[in-house]
Amino acid sequence: MCSGRVDLEFVLRAFSNGMDGAFIGGCRLGECNYVTHGNYHALNMVLLCRRIMEHIGLNPERLRIEFMSSAEGILFAQVMNEFGNQVRELGPLGEGEGIDRQELKSKLAEVIKLVPYIKMVKNEKLASRLESPEEYDQLFTREEIDELFSTVVSYYIAPEKCQACMICARRCPVGAITGAKNQIHVIDQEICIKCGTCFEVCPSKFGAVTKIVGGPVPPPIYQPTNLPIYQ
Ligand code: SF4
Ligand code: SF4
């Protein structure tokens, strides 16, 4: 029931499913019934998402947020009609921008996979509550988002260093690490949300987890290797 519940992934998934536009309606800013002020979260998320859309070549006007009271039916109808006309003018998603449908789908799939990472990196800004529209204009910049995507972090377990102590696998919040006693641990990059926990918990005397910034991850080694059992 709160616009603050609209996750970045929901919006990207709407576009991935072929929606030509997405509209989010929230209560007026400063009039939230709760201490959470979720409508500010929604605004920040939309501003971030619009920059992401620019980054992948989509027109950010396809995403709109407006704040109004539930008693403002006429205003709501006006805004929706206006937005509907605007989206019609922009044309089908991707076509108006000259992006191939399949290329757009794979770009969106890549970004959706990175949503937990993006939310973690931009956590502070996403939770901020600013005073003026000018400040909001600069909350997320185009350059900042380009840099975010060029410096995406990955984590990799160096097979020659891993002692199979299983600490990282136990602490990974999404079960992305496979391994057992006497078996080198491997991170499944498709599941990993890049939280960095494995990097932090791997004992420093082993230092088996490497942080890779903006580069490719070496291919995993799946063959189990016999190692001395670590107690
Ligand atoms: S970075 Fe986080 S999610 Fe990825 S493997 Fe390590 S602990 Fe799991
Ligand atoms: S914590 Fe480090 S040494 Fe232990 S299993 Fe994970 S990567 Fe290997």
Please name the residue whose Cα sits nearest to atom 1 of ligand 2. 202
Per-residue pLDDT tens for 57-90? 999 999 999 999 989 999 999 999 999 999 999 9
Q: What is the position in ligand 2's atom list of the atom closest to the CA of 201?
A: 1
One-character DSSP codes across the chain: --GGG--HHHHHHHHHTT-S-EEEEEPPTT--SSTT-HHHHHHHHHHHHHHHHHHTT--GGGEEEEE--TT-HHHHHHHHHHHHHHHHHH-STTTTTT--HHHHHHHHHHHHHTHHHHHHHTHHHHT---S-HHHHHTSS-HHHHHHHHHT-EEEEE-TTT-----HHHHH-TT--EE--TTS--EE-TTT-----HHHHHS-TTT--EEEEESSPPPPP--S----PPP-
Which ligand is located closest to the Cα atom of residue 171?
1
Pocket of ligand 1 (CB under 6 A): 155, 172, 174, 176-177, 187, 192-198
Mutating to test ligand 1, I would choose from 198, 199, 202, 209 the residue with most ligand atoms within 8 A of its C-beta, which is: 198
Residue labelled with tokens 């921008």 = 97
Q: Average pLDDT in the 187-215 region?
A: 95
**pLDDT value of residue 193:** 94
Q: Average pLDDT in the 102-125 region?
A: 95
How many angstroms does the Cα of residue 195 sit away from the middle of ligand 1? 5
Q: What is the position in ligand 2's atom list of the atom closest to the CA of 166?
A: 5
- Does 24 sit in the ligand 2 pocket, CB within 6 Å? no
**pLDDT value of residue 228:** 44
- Does 184 sit in the ligand 2 pocket, CB within 6 Å? no
Confirm whether pTM is higher than 0.85.
yes
Please name the residue whose Cα sits nearest to atom 4 of ligand 1. 192
- Does 202 sit in the ligand 2 pocket, CB within 6 Å? yes
Out of 22-36, 48-62, 110-124, 156-170, pick the least confident.
22-36
Does residue 132 surpass a pLDDT of 90? no
Mean pLDDT of the chain: 92
Q: What is the position in ligand 1's atom list of the atom closest to the CA of 199?
A: 6
Residue labelled with tokens 């006693």 = 181
For residue 231, give Cα distances in angstroms to 86, 132, 186. Answer: 64, 57, 19
